[in-house]
Structure 1
């Protein structure tokens, strides 16, 4: 092994990709249906580096590689979740306050147990807290405020491993209940309805009365009459045949309000009106709402968008939905005009993989500058958000805005997915080599078991407390909770595990992004005060 360790010590790039490849191969191995996924890269890196250190070799991936991976990952996650994050934030006050309270409770428990039960130095206690919540900026704050960064690092290294494993166990427990989730998106469907009522309500009145998200995509008056796309002011006559699009429950409400299901299909008659899936790849249209696109489609061609397919999810094209690069929209319009409509929307597969270098570069730069701002703290000293949290915040804002003037700020879902996975793997490989080199030194002392037990206590308070509160008080679904646990731990390995188990369900990323910025700030502040006690 001496020759191999020598080669890996001299070739850090080779080491990085070897750990990524071998780690992902291990992560795909499942025991009783459970695999580690990308988190296996972290554990393999820790094991290999610890082994090399024991043999007298220092192998490591440069810190800059981990930083690069982390900021790319954070930007992609934020940009991906930006469209839904700010809507969900209004409903997340309770979960966020609960998480902050649990961090404070965990720190208080660490102080009293570490001081009065284990007789540990305060720097060691603060470092153990930072490791148990797997947060490197918190370690820096603990080392600065305690005045003993070396001792804090030892506590961090020993507690870190269970900090990852413990929260993965909690995420796995949450996902075991995912089949009971009530926030699972209902598939979008359509139904042909025969109107039985004779009071001639308008389409807009029916939609407003139901309060449900549905679309009327076609209408035919008479058995052999023409088919057209109704406007919101269109009156519905008794005997009209209409096609309604929406989620199952909403469509059922509309059927009950209008009349009865019909076996006649308006979609099968494509002589005058047809539909087509078109990829939105025209940059000038990205960031606009469905309502804005429908206005142009109706004026020019008498067409409209009925559905939007993003990643692998079909969604109803509600007017306020913002269109993103790479979305596949279902357009209903005149048969002879669909080719012209496709050219207007772009209909190029390039849109699916466009990483938008302008938005990416400016977003990463702005996020890192935001993360580097020093914020004064009470009692002296200062702290900064760090590159990851700063980039995540900017990514969220850019994803929500969609465009600023002529600059598109929302990247395609597929591009974000590729970048987040690549960035995550590079970060996990670097973080593992960094922790692995410290673990051997940490376990050589005589206090390692105290650190380990204290770290398990802190991680368990957070894992059990979050799980119990989110499930019992806030009735959060298991899928979103698994992402929230990773965000509260500010731990990409937990997110990777949850994504692997759910096929990258968007609710996982939403839960992660929902609490990550607040978790990052809270950990830094708590570690600072803990280390200064």
Structure 2
């Protein structure tokens, strides 16, 4: 085998794709209905690297390749979660503070138990970094051999323990109450004599419903609606939104009509159109002035596997699939206006991708002074933070700051696989050193305690204090562990539910900063 390992060591590009392929094959193996998925790349890399070290020919993926994978993953995850992140942030900052408190508690336990076991502060800090799978925290200790051995000893259970906590959270997924309700539509006949406008009805329901068209009682004409369109007795409107909201509109205004006006397409038609025109990406629906240009409107938007009600302030992304309602003779012009090309779903937007990651890396590299030294957010946290901002903004002047959901998802998956292969070879080479050191059992015990407090403490707080649904809680667990492998584990089991990435993004930046600071504090004690 030494000849094989020598060949792999001399060809790191071949090595990384071999590890991805082998890991993917292992990840498809199901035991009791459970498979590892992308996370298997990490364990395949650990096993193969440990084997290579044992025969005296260590293999390794270059750190630069691992860094590229990590920052692409972090940036694209931010883009995907950005539209919902800042809305959730206003109500989720207590969760971030409590998760930080749980990490502080795990660090205190590490220092006390480590001291009782006769370990020095540097080894304790490295073990803490490994148990919470945070490489920047290891760097904050100075990266000494003692800290590195502690990190390697605790790392594997840091991943396994976090996966167990995420799996426990996902057991409660069927009872989640924060799932986005499916979008439905219903024809409603107006019975009330009180005159309402379309804008008043939509505002009364906090933009959770949309009205796509109206059939007038006086002449039977079907028209698209405007905010100032008045609803009169006998009119039939088509209401779009979550089922409970649509039912409320029907009760308020009249009753469900037996006339399905969406089937009457002689004058007014609808079509599902892909927004592939980059000039429109990042703009609000209201800013497109569809009614003025075409006499048309957008009823709903599908992004990835999630449908949204169309509102004037909704920011469109390239690759969104729009249900457009308008005059039949305007449909060709509307299709040309939006583009309607599958290529729009795969446009990686190199300008936003390149400059966004570069600026994020610059933010992550900024040295922030603290008593006794300094710290930085690190490349991953910087890229994630800027991705969140750019995903939320959508456009700055003529520059589109977002990527299509499909393109961002593919890039995030690619970056994750590359990073897992790198992290596996790094950990695999260190684990052999940890075993040879003779301290491995002591360090394993310390790492087990730290990971259990950090991960299951986060689970308990999220589940019973903040009453988080299992889907979002699995993402919170991954974010608290600052480990992309846990996000991949949860994504695989939820079919990439956006709530996982949102939960991950909410706590990741704060957890990253807290771990770096705690590692530095422990070394200085």
Give me the TM-score of the superposition, normalised by structure 1.
Answer: 0.97
1:509 counterpart = 2:501 = yes
User: Would you say the 8 A contact 2:68–2:415 is kept in 1?
Assistant: yes
Cα RMSD, aligned residues only: 1.2
Q: Which residue of 223, 231, 236 corresponds with 2:226?
A: 231
- CA distance in 1 between counterparts of 2:414 and 2:205 reads 45
1:441 counterpart = 2:427 = no
User: Would you say the 8 A contact 1:107–1:526 is kept in 2?
Assistant: yes
- CA distance in 2 between counterparts of 1:451 and 1:413 reads 42
Please give the per-residue CA displacement for 1:367-389, whole angstroms capped at 9, x wherever unaligned.
1111111111202x221111111
What is the match of residue 46 of structure 1? 46
- CA distance in 2 between counterparts of 1:278 and 1:234 reads 25
What is the match of residue 190 of structure 1? 185
Q: Secondary structure at the match of 2:301?
A: strand
Q: How far does residue 347 in structure 1 lie from its aligned partner after superposition?
A: 1.4
- CA distance in 2 between counterparts of 1:305 and 1:142 reads 54
What is the match of residue 118 of structure 2? 119
Q: Which residue of 357, 360, 365 corresponds with 1:364?
A: 357
Say which is worse superposed, 203-212 or 39-48, in terms of deviation.
203-212
Q: How far does residue 233 in structure 1 lie from its aligned partner after superposition?
A: 2.2
What is the match of residue 68 of structure 2? 68
What is the match of residue 400 of structure 1? 392
- CA distance in 1 between counterparts of 2:206 and 2:416 reads 41
Q: How far does residue 123 in structure 1 lie from its aligned partner after superposition?
A: 1.1
Q: How far does residue 495 in structure 1 lie from its aligned partner after superposition?
A: 0.5
What is the match of residue 510 of structure 2? 518
Q: Secondary structure at the match of 1:382?
A: strand
Please give the per-residue CA displacement for 1:415-441, whole angstroms capped at 9, x wherever unaligned.
101100111000000110011001011
1:26 counterpart = 2:18 = no
What is the match of residue 87 of structure 1? 87
Q: How far does residue 282 in structure 1 lie from its aligned partner after superposition?
A: 1.4
Say which is worse superposed, 383-392 or 214-223, in terms of deviation.
214-223
- CA distance in 1 between counterparts of 2:207 and 2:389 reads 28
Q: How far does residue 323 in structure 1 lie from its aligned partner after superposition?
A: 0.1
Q: How many pairs does the alignment contain? A: 525
User: Would you say the 8 A contact 1:212–1:250 is kept in 2?
Assistant: no
- CA distance in 1 between counterparts of 2:245 and 2:76 reads 33
Q: Secondary structure at the match of 1:199?
A: coil
- CA distance in 1 between counterparts of 2:201 and 2:354 reads 46
Q: Secondary structure at the match of 1:88?
A: helix
Check 1:210–1:405 CA distance in 2 against 1; reply closer, same or farther (3 A cut). Answer: closer
Please give the per-residue CA displacement for 1:321-371, whole angstroms capped at 9, x wherever unaligned.
110011111110001101101111111211100001111110111111111
What is the match of residue 251 of structure 2? 256
Q: Which residue of 484, 491, 494 corresponds with 1:499?
A: 491
1:168 counterpart = 2:163 = yes
**Residue pairs, 1:16-415, within 5 angstroms:** 16-116=16-116, 118-143=117-142, 149-211=144-206, 213-222=208-217, 225-293=220-288, 296-379=289-372, 381-415=373-407
User: Would you say the 8 A contact 2:207–2:311 is kept in 1?
Assistant: no
- CA distance in 1 between counterparts of 2:311 and 2:464 reads 32
User: Would you say the 8 A contact 1:276–1:330 is kept in 2?
Assistant: yes
Identify unmatched segments of 5+ residues in structure 1: none
- CA distance in 2 between counterparts of 1:49 and 1:367 reads 31
User: Would you say the 8 A contact 1:210–1:253 is kept in 2?
Assistant: no
Please give the per-residue CA displacement for 1:149-200, whole angstroms capped at 9, x wherever unaligned.
1100000000000000000010011111111111111111100111121222
- CA distance in 1 between counterparts of 2:204 and 2:134 reads 50
Q: How far does residue 224 in structure 1 lie from its aligned partner after superposition?
A: 6.5
Give me the TM-score of the superposition, normalised by structure 2.
Answer: 0.98
- CA distance in 2 between counterparts of 1:364 and 1:216 reads 40
- CA distance in 2 between counterparts of 1:211 and 1:415 reads 31
User: Would you say the 8 A contact 2:381–2:508 is kept in 1?
Assistant: yes
- CA distance in 2 between counterparts of 1:308 and 1:105 reads 44
Q: Secondary structure at the match of 1:276?
A: strand
User: Would you say the 8 A contact 2:217–2:233 is kept in 1?
Assistant: no
- CA distance in 2 between counterparts of 1:412 and 1:365 reads 19
- CA distance in 1 between counterparts of 2:428 and 2:204 reads 61
Q: Secondary structure at the match of 1:31?
A: coil
